[in-house]
Amino acid sequence: MKNKKTSKWSVNLFFILFAAMLITLSGRFIYIQATGEVQGVNLNEWAERQRSNHTELPARRGYIYDRNGMELAQDITVYRLYAIISEAYSPNPEKRLNHVADHELTAEQLAPILEMETSEIVDIFQRGVENDQFQVEFGREGSQLSREQKLAIEELELPGIHFIEEAKRYYPNGIFASQIIGLAQTDDNQVITGITGIEAQFDDLLQGHDGKITFQRDSYNTRLLDAKEVIEQKHDGFDVNLTIDQKIQTILEDAMSQVEDQYQPERITATVVNPKTGEILAMSNRPSYDPNHIGDVDNWFNDVVSTPIEPGSTMKIFTLAAAIEEGVYNPKEKFRSGSYKIDQIDRPVTDYNQSWGEISFEEGFQRSSNVGVSKLVWEKIGVNRFLDYLNAFHFDRTTGIDLPREQAGTILYRYPIEQLTASYGQGTTVTPIQLIQAATAIANDGQMMKPYIIQKITDPNTGQVVQQTEPEVVGQPVSKETANQVLAAMESVITSDYGTGRNIYNLESYSVAGKTGTAQISSSAGGYLEGHENYIFSFLGMAPSDDPQLLIYITVKQPEITKDQSGSEPVSFIFKHVMENSLHYLNIQPDKEHEETVEKLTMPEWEQAEIDEIRQHFEEAGFKPKIVGNGNRIINANIEPGEDVLSTQHILLITDEPTMPDLTNWSLRNVIELANLTELDLEVIGSGYLIHQSIEPGEAIEPGRYLLSEFSTEQ
C-alpha cells in the first residue's frame, strides 16, 4: 500500500514539473514572439544583418587649393599590410595555399621591403599563432605603404599576404606654405583629422561623411532579385581655396631657403599682400617643416600671426602718419639729433650710433632718427593723441585673420619713457600681421584692409560656393592726403642720400617706398642682447611707390653675419627677389622700364607648331625652354598661348615623341608639371630637389606609365 502511494506521488510530481516546464517554455516563446528578443539580442535585427550586405562609400577629405586651383593638400591612396595565419583559411592546401604557412621564408622576403628585421616578422607570425589569431598586422612599418612597396610585395606572390586600401593626407609641395596649410594625419580610427593650420581651423568643413550601400542576399552571399537596396550617399568634405598664389609663394619659398642656407638665422618671416584688398598672396616662416615627413619640428607655429615682436623703426611709419594727420609735421623744420632728454625720464632717448647735428625732420625720417619721432610725439602730437592713433591703426587688437592661434602684441604706454619708445617701436610689441594690416592704410589711400587668406569654400558635391570672402575695410586711421605724404617720405628712404634703404632695397624695374627696422631682442637676464647680429632686422616695402600693388614685410632674426656685413643683406635679398619677380608675374607695368633686366615675352601658339620654329622664337629672346622628346611638333606645354612668360620661369615643351629627360635637381613642382603634361602615374618620395627617377633618361614616355621620383633637401 505504501509503495502504491509513493508511486502515485511520483507521478503527480512528474506531471507538476512537466506542467511547470511547459508553462515556462510557453511563456518564453510568447515573450520572444512578442518582443523579438533573446538575451538582449533583437532577432529581427540579427536576421536582417545575416541576410544583408553593407558596402562602405568612403568620403574624401576636402582639398585645399591656391587661388588658381593648384592642389596644396589632397588625399592619396596608401596600403596597410596584413597576413592570414590561420590554417582554417586553407581548407584544401593541395589546390591553393591561402595562409602563411612558411613563416621564415615569408619573413625573409618581406623584411627588406618593409625595412624590418626577419626575426621581427617571424615573431609577429608566431605570437599570432600562439594567441590563436586569424590574421596579424605589422605595426607602423606595415602601414601607409606606397604603391611601389605594394607592387613589390605582390610580385613575390606570397600566400596569405593581403592589403587594405586607406587614405592619407598628402602635400605635393612639401614645405610650401606648410605653416599656413597645416597638417592632417590619420588617427587610430583611420579618420584623417586636422592638427594645425587651415587643416585644423576648418577641420569640420574639410571632413566628409561616409555613405553606404545596403542590400539583401541569400545564404550563398548572392544578391537577391528583390534586394531592397538602400543607398546612403557619401558627402565629400568641402574644398578650400586660399588667396595664396602658388607662383608668388614659390618665389618666396626659394628666396627664404637661400637665406636660411647662407645666413642660418634663428627665425625668418615674410608676407606678401595685396594692400588694395587685404589678400595674402604668400606667407612663409623659417624654421618650417615638411608635413609629409614629420620628424623633429623646430617650429609648429606661424610666427606671422602668433609671435609678437618689437617692430623697431618700421613703427616710425605710423608715428609720421599721426604727425601729418594732426597737421603738426613740417618736414623742413630743424631739430638737434643725437639725444633727447625730458624731465620725466632718467636717461635720454638716443639715435642709434651718432649725432648728425641739426637736421630736418624729413632727414630725420630718412636716417631713422629715434630723437626725431620722440620729439614729434612729446612736443607736437601729444602722448594721449598718439595713443589714439596707435589704437586707430589697431595695434591694440588682433586682426581677425582666418588663421588659427592669432595673438596680439601689447602697447606698452604707462610711463613717459614707454610713450617715447613706442614712437620708434621699442617696448611695444606687434605681430607681423598687425603691422601689415596697419600698413595697408598707407598703401591704400588711408583705408585699412583686413588681411585674409580664405578666398572661397566650395561644396564639391553640388559645386555651390558656400563661403566667399570679400575685401573688408576695417578703419581709416588717416586721410588719403596723409597716406600719400607718408608714401613719399618712405620712397625717400630708398632714394635719398641719407636714406637707410639707399642702394639696398632699390628694384631694377619699379620704384619702392619702404622703411627699415632694427629691433633689439630682450634678454632672459633683463635688458637687451648685445652683439652685431643680435637683432631682428626687418623691412616693410611697397611697390610701385606711387600706387602700391604689393606690400611685403620681412623679418630676419639673428642671422650669422660678419662684422663687415649688414643685417639688411638677407632681408634685402628676399625683398628684391620676391617683389621684382612677383610684380612682373602679375603684369604690373614697370615705372623704371629703362632699367628692366627681367625679360618677358608672350607665349606663342604652340599647338602642333614645328619644334624648330618654337625653339628659334625662344632662343632669339634669350630664353631656354626644356624640350621633352625628339618629335617634330609641340603637343603640350606648361604655359598657355598668349600668357606672359618671364625669363626666370621653367618652360616645358612636350613633343609628339616624348622621352624622359634627366630630372636630376628638378624641383618637385616642375616634376609634377611634367607628369601632368605627359599623363604619367607619379609617385613622390621626399621633398626638395630630385635625386632619383625610376624611368631612365631617354626612355619613351607613355601615358599611364608609373614614375617613382625621390627628392631630397640636400644637394
pLDDT in tens, 237-255: 999 999 999 999 999 999 9
pLDDT of residue 54: 59
Neighbour-count burial for 467-493, b at 16+ CB within 10 Å, e otherwise: eebeeeebbebbeeebbbbbbebbbbb
- Do both 409 and 360 map to the same domain? yes
Domain's final residue, options 237, 258, 276: 237
CA distances (Å), origin 192, targets 170, 189, 209, 276: 11, 9, 12, 37
pLDDT of residue 595: 43
Cα distance between residue 591 and residue 607, in whole Å: 34
Residue at 376: amino acid letter: L
Strands 681-685 and 644-646: unpaired
CATH code (residue 521): 3.40.710.10
Residue 647, domain member (yes or no): yes
Give the three-class secondary structure for 461.
Answer: coil
Of residues 90, 313, 492, 667, which has the active-site annotation?
313
Residue 242, domain member (yes or no): no
Residue 506, domain member (yes or no): yes
Residue 221, domain member (yes or no): yes
Residue identified by cell 560656393 is: 465
The closest of 650, 543, 638 to 586, measured between CA atoms, is 543
- Do both 259 and 390 map to the same domain? yes
pLDDT of residue 16: 75
- Do both 175 and 30 map to the same domain? no
- Do both 342 and 378 map to the same domain? yes
Residue identified by cell 621626399 is: 686
CATH code (residue 623): 3.30.10.20
> What are phi and psi for residue 192, nearest 5 degrees?
-80, 125
Domain that residue 14 falls in: 2-50
**Total number of domains constituting the chain:** 4
Element spanning 433, H or E: helix 432-443
Domain's final residue, options 595, 626, 661: 595
The closest of 230, 497, 226, 236 to 356, measured between CA atoms, is 497
Query: Quick check: 60 and 49 in contact, CB under 8 A?
Result: no
- Do both 110 and 33 map to the same domain? no
- Do both 215 and 299 map to the same domain? no
pLDDT of residue 596: 43
pLDDT of residue 166: 84
- Do both 638 and 694 map to the same domain? yes
pLDDT of residue 77: 86
Residue 108, domain member (yes or no): yes
Element spanning 613, H or E: helix 611-620
- Do both 209 and 141 map to the same domain? yes
pLDDT of residue 35: 58
Cα distance between residue 256 and residue 555, in whole Å: 11
Cα distance between residue 588 and residue 600, in whole Å: 12
Active site residue 313: yes
Residue 447, domain member (yes or no): yes
Domain's final residue, options 539, 572, 595: 595
Residue 275, domain member (yes or no): yes
- At 563-579, the pLDDT tens digits run 888 889 999 999 999 99
Cα distance between residue 46 and residue 259, in whole Å: 66
- In 3-state terms the chain splits into helix, strand, coil percentages (rounded to 5) of 35, 25, 40
- Do both 230 and 251 map to the same domain? no
Residue 59, domain member (yes or no): yes
- Do both 476 and 533 map to the same domain? yes
> What 3 state SS string does 343-402 have?
CCCCCCEECCCCCCCEEEHHHHHHHCCHHHHHHHHHHHHCHHHHHHHHHHCCCCCCCCCC
- Do both 11 and 122 map to the same domain? no
- Do both 129 and 193 map to the same domain? yes
Residues 6+ apart with CB under 8 A from 596: 508, 509, 590
10-residue averages of pLDDT along the chain (715 residues): 60 70 66 56 52 69 93 90 79 63 91 92 90 87 88 91 88 89 84 91 91 64 61 88 95 94 95 98 94 80 94 97 96 95 91 88 96 97 97 97 94 95 95 98 97 96 94 96 94 92 91 94 81 92 95 96 89 96 91 59 80 81 85 86 76 89 83 86 74 90 88 60
CATH code (residue 63): 3.90.1310.10
